[in-house]
């Protein structure tokens, strides 16, 4: 059975609520402190597992007190963690303050994620038919090596270049499926020197027989180019509470569908879209990822 192999970031998210943000040198009392597992790689691996796929996670955590918590949800979901390295230093962390107006300030410390390198990427346990899922929160050199490893193994390579960096545009010839949101799509188009600005124009410019392209558009759904056609699909209407985990949920469910079905189609896109919409109905990232049963009941 084909697997989803994820190479990416593993974080711990530390969040607190304050009435207002402090100024330099000021100490304020906060409330509602939470500690949750995060990181785009970890989030997407968990989503793929909840979608029913067999999942392998590769990345790095530090030798500190946060590593266990960062990996706990993945372990509970049955994700294979044997390719996760533990290294000297700190586990990646996001430090988040939320104010009474709903605004946030975030400091992301890559920590162990910055140690993921080309040698680790080249050693990924890939086989023909597997789906390799990548994001932008680890060094570009590791991503390039992973793409090459995927090609050698005969795996389908899916890239979600988030957060976007211009160097990630150079990876397009090495991948099979590109997943970006509208902001990332426009940044990618600019990096490639394209005049296209709308999602449909960008998809039309980038999609090719060797590259399937998906632009997610939040509540307006998605635009995708595959099998020689462009598809525009609406989103499932929901009462959104928190959209932070929606994109990672989409990517994980998409990768699971590709591992199970092999070929991108309307059914896989619909299921991933419904899963992403449901993730918006509850707070958090990993806590918000729905189970496959929930997604099927909702029409996915």
Exposure class string for 3-25: b at 16+ Cβ within 10 A, else e: bbbbbbbbbbbbbeebeeeeeee
16 contacts: CB under 8 Å, gap ≥ 6: 30, 31, 32, 33, 34, 96, 97, 98
Question: Distance between CA 162 and CA 62 in Å, rounded?
Answer: 22
In the structure encoding, which two tokens stand for residue 12, read together? Answer: 């711990």
What pLDDT does residue 1 have? 77
Residue 5's SS3 state is strand
Q: What is the pTM of this model?
A: 0.94
What pLDDT does residue 73 have? 98
Strand-by-strand arrangement of the 177-181 sheet: 80-87, 55-62, 4-7, 131-135, 156-160, 177-181, 212-216, 222-226, 229-233
The CATH H-level (homologous superfamily) assignment of domain 4-11+40-90+112-297 is Ribokinase (3.40.1190.20)
What pLDDT does residue 179 have? 98
Question: Distance between CA 276 and CA 194 in Å, rounded?
Answer: 29
What pLDDT does residue 178 have? 98
What pLDDT does residue 191 have? 94
Q: Measure Cα distances from 203 to 198, 199, 231, 250 in Å.
A: 9, 6, 10, 18
Which residues of the chain, if any, have pLDDT below 50?
none
CB atoms within 10 A of CB 238: 16
297 contacts: CB under 8 Å, gap ≥ 6: none
The catalytic residue positions are 248
What pLDDT does residue 104 have? 78
What pLDDT does residue 32 have? 87
Residue 113's SS3 state is helix
Extents of the domains making up the chain: 4-11+40-90+112-297
What pLDDT does residue 12 have? 96
Residues paired with residue 114 on neighbouring β-strands, in sequence order: none
């Amino acid at each position: 059975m084909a697997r989803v192999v994820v190479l990416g970031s593993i974080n711990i998210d530390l969040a607190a609520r304050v009435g207002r943000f402090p100024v330099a040198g000021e100490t304020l009392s906060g409330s509602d402190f939470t500690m949750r597992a995060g990181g785009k790689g970890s989030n997407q691996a968990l989503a793929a597992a909840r979608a029913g796929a067999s999942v392998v996670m590769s990345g790095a955590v530090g030798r500190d007190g946060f590593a266990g918590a960062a990996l706990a949800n993945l372990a509970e979901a049955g994700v294979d963690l044997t390719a996760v390295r533990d290294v000297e230093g700190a586990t990646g962390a996001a430090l988040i303050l939320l104010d009474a107006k709903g605004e946030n300030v975030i400091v992301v410390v890559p920590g162990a994620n910055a140690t993921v390198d080309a040698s680790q990427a080249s050693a990924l346990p890939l086989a023909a038919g597997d789906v390799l899922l990548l994001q932008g929160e680890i060094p570009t050199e590791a991503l390039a090596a992973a793409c090459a490893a995927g090609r050698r193994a005969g795996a389908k390579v899916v890239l979600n270049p988030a957060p976007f960096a211009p160097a990630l545009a150079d990876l397009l010839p090495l991948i099979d499926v590109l997943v970006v949101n509208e902001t990332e799509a426009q940044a990618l188009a600019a990096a490639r020197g394209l005049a296209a600005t709308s999602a449909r124009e960008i998809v039309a410019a980038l999609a090719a027989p060797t590259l399937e392209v998906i632009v997610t558009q939040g509540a307006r759904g998605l635009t995708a180019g595959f099998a020689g056609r462009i598809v525009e699909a609406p989103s499932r209407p929901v009462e959104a509470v928190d959209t932070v985990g929606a994109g990672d949920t989409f990517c994980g469910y998409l990768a699971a569908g590709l591992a199970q079905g092999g070929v991108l189609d309307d059914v896989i896109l619909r299921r991933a879209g419904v899963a992403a919409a449901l993730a918006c109905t509850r707070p958090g990232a990993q806590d918000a990822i729905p189970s496959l049963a929930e997604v099927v009941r909702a029409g996915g």
